[in-house]
Amino acid sequence: MKVKVLTRNPDEYLRETKRDIHKVPRNYDPALHPFEAAREYTRALNSVKLERIFAKPFVGCLEGHKDGVSCLCKHPSQLSTVLSGAFDGEIRIWNLAHRTCISNFLAHDGIIRGIVLSQSGENFISVGDDKTIKTWKLENSSLSQNEPINTVISKTIITGISHHQTQPIFATCGEVCDLWEETRNEPIRTFKWGVDSLYDIKYNPVQSNLFATCASDRSIILYDAREAGPLQKVFMRLRTNKLSWNPMEAITFTCANEDYNLYTYDIRKLRTPVNVHMDHVEAVIDVDYSPTGKEFVSGSYDKSIRIFEVNKGHSREVYHTRRMQRLTCMGWSLDNKYIISGSDEMNIRLWKARASEKLGVLRPREKAALNYSEALKEKFAAHPQIKRISRHRQVPKYIYNAKAELRTIREKINRKEANKRAHSKKGAVPFVSERSRHVVQQKV
């Protein structure tokens, strides 16, 4: 007779000393792990609930400005340095890590319209309502800045500034669009195309000769510095406030429009936008892309910040606080982790880009657990419970009500159009897609 009965040596299964970790033998036989699907679903449900519990996006508030914040400027190489300009002409330099103001000084008479850092990060240029372009030295000491390095007095009003990605060239907009070299006091080029005021100008970070402006005649104008004149122009139903280029795709930019929407354009086909991003309930004031080029953040007059995915029509996130008033400027930090917002009530706020993300160093097991729950959430994303919880956002009453109102308005328009279509000759009332509805005309 040959016989063997299971006997386990406890020494192989128990830890030797109390300082050891417990031994955990694994057997991945599926028969030993029943209810795999149901347990995964439960875990997914738990993790999506935890995500909502941990969603505390507000990091901090930078106080100090004595008037509304008009513009923000990110440092190209230092994550902690941010410059901000206010409506009273004051510029402040901030250290985000310490949440302190390094220095502040009165730079212009009237509103500061824009600040840009030169590519080296040593100097910054500011423009204001006093028609001057001032170049300053960026110093880390807290000594007050006394004098600009250089002051250029422009012939025309300046409302915006943008710096070339690599060369010491910057462009300003106002009555006309000017191209400047950092060392010269006269613009090297001037572009004009039948408009008397331009609101915003942005250099393309990839195709670095291209830049675009938003004009007061509801148009967006594209320029190429190598060409003699402007390239193209597209008219929209309402005015565009700001625009932002996708830092990863040279052909894509998104503009914040007065009609509560954002539009993503492909410059090869300006006639219809690639995507319409709806969700704001008032004019969108500013937009900024994440460095990955997959998402962007927008700030609106409805006192809320929304984060959109580039290929989605609706926002994935909305941030608001009771103290935050109308947004004036937005920024997405270059480490893709934070969002900076400047608003009317003189404060700069720092937010997390992913609301429930844990800040700081993650231990490997923590990271693995987070990855696991992320995968589960993705797997069960279509389940009604999980979808509902992950999508739910509490918004202020005025936004909630305004949304409902906008919905009824939209329904009414659609209904009316459908009725018209039904009662008129075939093809007399054509169907116009939401994307092409807001573009009036394209000029080349």
Interface contacts to another protein, rule CB under 8 A: 1-8, 10, 12-14, 22-43, 46, 379-380, 383
CB 3, min distance to another protein, A: 5
CB 25, min distance to another protein, A: 5
CB 44, min distance to another protein, A: 10
> Is 182 in contact with 190 (CB distance < 8 Å)?
no
> Is 367 in contact with 352 (CB distance < 8 Å)?
no
Residue type at position 55: A
d(CA 296, CA 303): 17
- Structure token digits, residue 365: 């097991």
Q: How many CA atoms lie within 13 A of 178 on its CB side?
A: 25
Close Cβ partners of 40 (under 8 Å, ≥ 6 residues apart): 376, 379, 380
d(CA 374, CA 43): 10
CB 33, min distance to another protein, A: 6
Q: Which residue in 143, 121, 118 sits closest to 133, CA to CA?
A: 118
User: Residues 196, 281, 115, 220: is their CA dihedral positive or negative?
Assistant: negative
User: Residues 398, 352, 94, 64: is their CA dihedral positive or negative?
Assistant: positive
Residue 137 vs 415, nearer CB to another protein: 415
Residue 5 vs 228, nearer CB to another protein: 5
Q: ∠419-420-422 over CA atoms, to 5°?
A: 65
Residue 41 vs 235, nearer CB to another protein: 41
> Is 86 in contact with 72 (CB distance < 8 Å)?
no
Stretch (H or E) spanning 223 = strand 219-224
Helix (H, G, I), strand (E, B) or coil at 140: coil
- Structure token digits, residue 122: 């040593």
The phi and psi torsions of 265 (rounded to 5 degrees) equal -115, 150
d(CA 240, CA 219): 7
- Structure token digits, residue 389: 């919880």
Residue 27 vs 166, nearer CB to another protein: 27
Q: Which residue in 183, 128, 188 sits closest to 157, CA to CA?
A: 128
CB 29, min distance to another protein, A: 7
d(CA 296, CA 85): 22
- Structure token digits, residue 333: 């930090």
d(CA 76, CA 96): 14
Beta bridge partners of 267: none
CB 322, min distance to another protein, A: 34
CB 12, min distance to another protein, A: 7
The DSSP call for residue 24 is -
CB 5, min distance to another protein, A: 4
